[in-house]
Amino acid sequence: MIEYKYSSGSANDRFCFLLAVILLQQGKLAEARQHIQRRLQGRPEHVPSLLTAGKAAQADRDLPAARRYSSKAASLAPSEVEPAFLLGLLVLEEGDAPAAVRVFSDLTRLAPQQVAVWCSLGAAYRQIDDKAAACQALRHALQLDAQRVDAWFNLGLILQDMRDLTGAATAFRAALTHRPAFAAAALNLGVVLQDAGAVDEAMSAYRDAYRLDATTFGRIAHALTSAPSGRLWLNVQALRQLLLS
């Protein structure tokens, strides 16, 4: 339990800010939002406080409020990366992918070496179904950091959508190289290998996915029985045993 009492003046404002940060870290969202509001009453244009208020609102699933705080912070600090980046993530989470593309595109000019910005731009382009632009953004991210797992995985998903099965398999394998316990990458690797007609290799990938995460079984069973190149098991338990062998 954190015990506190308010005093007056700037010291109290700083105390409210620090307390809000601690409460946010502890997951006490209602209290965190209460204290950061007290801070903003005294300093409504304090960018770190606006960002904290935005993060607390986002964690509390109040996305409109989170967007308002982040937008104000970004307008007050146009040369800083974090406010605009958080705004872009919020906009994307709200489903406004075209706006997210604009935010992240601007950020690539402000911070061209920030890998996370390029990854997020790729995710935004994917949501508006601009596959070519998404691939370009993700490949740029990988030029900056070839071990960026989310970039490899998302690139694999886009190439899979584009029916570039060889490229997708390469991307999923790269994701697994850098994160061997990535069940979703193993599962999707199995799907693209199966679609390419390499059923034995697909089964090996499915085994890896199932061992990493048993909840992948439903998707594995569906893929094996619905794709043009697959296998049919009448006994579900036999398939489970095979995946564990």
pLDDT at 1: 37
Q: Are 56 and 36 in contact (CB under 8 A)?
A: yes
Residues 169, 193: contact at Cβ < 8 Å?
A: yes
Q: What is the pLDDT of residue 239?
A: 81
pLDDT computed for residue 7 by the predictor:
42
pLDDT of residue 214: 95
- Regions in the chain scoring below 70 on pLDDT: 1-11, 227-235
- Pair 205, 186: CB distance under 8 Å: yes
Q: How far is CA 108 from CA 21, 137, 140, in A?
A: 29, 10, 11
Residues in CB range of 55: below 8 A, 6 or more apart: 24, 66, 86
CA distance readout (Å), 5 to 15, 24, 32, 35, 105:
10, 18, 15, 12, 45
Q: Give the DSSP per-residue string, the chain.
A: -------SSHHHHHHHHHHHHHHHHTT-HHHHHHHHHHHHHH-TT-HHHHHHHHHHHHHTT-HHHHHHHHHHHHHH-TT-HHHHHHHHHHHHHTT-HHHHHHHHHHHHHH-TT-HHHHHHHHHHHHHTT-HHHHHHHHHHHHHH-TT-HHHHHHHHHHHHHTT-HHHHHHHHHHHHHH-TT-HHHHHHHHHHHHHTT-HHHHHHHHHHHHHH-GGGHHHHHHHHHHSSS----S-HHHHHHHHH-
Closest CA to 202 of 236, 165, 152: 165
- The span from the CA of 137 to the CA of 124, in Å, is 10
Contacts of 35 (CB under 8 A, 6+ apart): 16, 17, 19, 20, 23
Backbone angles phi, psi at 208, to 5 degrees: -60, -45
